[in-house]
Structure 1
Amino acid sequence: MSLILASSSPYRRELLQRLRLPFQSLAPDIDEHPLPGETPRLLARRLAQAKARRILADHPGALVIGSDQVADFNGRPMGKPGSYPAAQAQLQAFSGHTVVFHTAVCVCAEDDSLVEDVPTECRFLPLTPAQIQHYLRTEQPFDTAGSAKAEALGIALMAQMRSDDPTALIGLPLIAVCRMLRAFGIDPLSPPPTAPQ
């Protein structure tokens, strides 16, 4: 069974490579706009499933991993800023406040699918305009949910982070992924079969 990551994100690809499993990455084309009244958690879960199922539709024999991350700020979904002004506005709003990043992951095959949400609670430092400007010019995190590129300088934005999985905030919760892959018979800790002599 081939393994496919339903993502064009270099961050997710680099994370999945840690498991030393052969896989390919394919970009799903889906509408990521929230539905009316949809909570950030439900939005992340729906998009993770939609990405995985979109790729599975074209590769029915594969096992597909889809993931999505949505920042929850006072119950409002905050996605990728896409631009400097939008990122600046996000970080100004987050300054001194707690934001929950919902990172959902879905692993699906033709006959079964699993989905989990791994939240990361982040308390942002009180940030000055100069700090925000320096961070945005240095990292340009415009393709990152909530502008928080925690695998790089974005970690300096934080006063505290809490999560069951340290890889969740970067974009792919690997502890959950391993658990879900094992449910489909793939254990990253099992040695690959040796070729017959």
Structure 2
Amino acid sequence: MPALILASTSRYRQELLSRLRLPFETVAPEVDETALPGEAPAALAERLALAKARVVAAAHPGAIVIGSDQVADLGGAAIGKPGGHERAAEQLRQMSGREVVFQTAVAVVAPGLAAIERAEVRVRVRELSDAAIEAYLRADQPYDCAGSAKVESLGIALLEAVESDDPTALIGLPLIRTCALLRRAGLEPLA
């Protein structure tokens, strides 16, 4: 069986991929994640997912490499990882009472294959008071998450609804699409 590599150092993606019970290693992709001028959030997620997989695959010939990227889209504008408390509070204030679309792309690059899929997750954020935002940020500290919320923990309390056909996409790796791409690469998760 060829090596399976996750082109990511994200602990969230590692945890998700481990659900498939396939042995894999992780390699940090060296990819500039800066958006191109005028690049839409969905296009940015797709470009970065494929670039991450290709960069790592080039250094590991014969491997099956998974790359993924997520971009939060608020009214057509990309919202990145906040990096700190003040930026996270500002993001949550902007998202309060609005819909945010999380564009999560996954790519698999393997011998004879370079394929990409994208999952879209629509999230309705409830109206948030400054006190609720502060309480949440102190509790979860989601400074490494696009959109400043961890739906897999207390961040779920910020939301009114989540709509997706691939639910793990919101956490950062759409596993339904990942399984389909792995099968195309000749790796059956249930074998």
| Per-residue deviation, 1:151 | 0.5
| Per-residue deviation, 1:16 | 0.4
| Per-residue deviation, 1:2 | 0.5
Aligned to 1:23: 24
RMSD (Å), alpha carbons = 0.7
Question: Structure 2: which 5+ residue stretches go unaligned?
Answer: none
1:167 aligns with 2:168: yes
| Per-residue deviation, 1:38 | 0.1
1:53 aligns with 2:76: no
Partner Cα distance (2:144, 2:22) in 1: 26
Aligned to 1:38: 39
Local SS of the residue matching 2:170? coil
Aligned to 1:194: none
Aligned to 2:153: 152
Contact 1:181/1:187 (8 A) holds in 2: yes
Over the matched positions of the two proteins, sequence identity in percent amounts to 57
Local SS of the residue matching 1:89? helix
Partner Cα distance (2:75, 2:32) in 1: 23
Contact 1:56/1:110 (8 A) holds in 2: no
| Per-residue deviation, 1:110 | 3.8
Q: Structure 1, residues 32-79: CA drift from partner, whole Å, max 9, x if none? A: 110000000000000101111111111111110000000000000111
| Per-residue deviation, 1:7 | 0.4
Q: Structure 1, residues 112-133: CA drift from partner, whole Å, max 9, x if none? A: 2110110000000000001000
Contact 1:101/1:121 (8 A) holds in 2: yes
Mapping of residues 4-153 of structure 1, within 5 Å? 4-153=5-154
Q: Which amino acid aligns with 1:73?
A: L
| Per-residue deviation, 1:109 | 1.4
Partner Cα distance (1:186, 1:63) in 2: 9
Question: Structure 1: which 5+ residue stretches go unaligned?
Answer: 191-197
Q: Which amino acid aligns with 2:130?
A: P
Decide which structure has the larger Cα Rg and report it.
1
Local SS of the residue matching 1:119? strand
Q: Which amino acid aligns with 1:65?
A: I
Contact 1:68/1:171 (8 A) holds in 2: yes
Q: Structure 1, residues 2-42: CA drift from partner, whole Å, max 9, x if none? A: 10000001110010001010100111121111000000000
| Equivalent pairs, count | 190
Aligned to 1:178: 179
Q: Which amino acid aligns with 1:173?
A: P
Local SS of the residue matching 1:188? coil
**TM-score, normalising length: structure 1:** 0.95
Partner Cα distance (2:58, 2:86) in 1: 37
Partner Cα distance (1:137, 1:171) in 2: 22
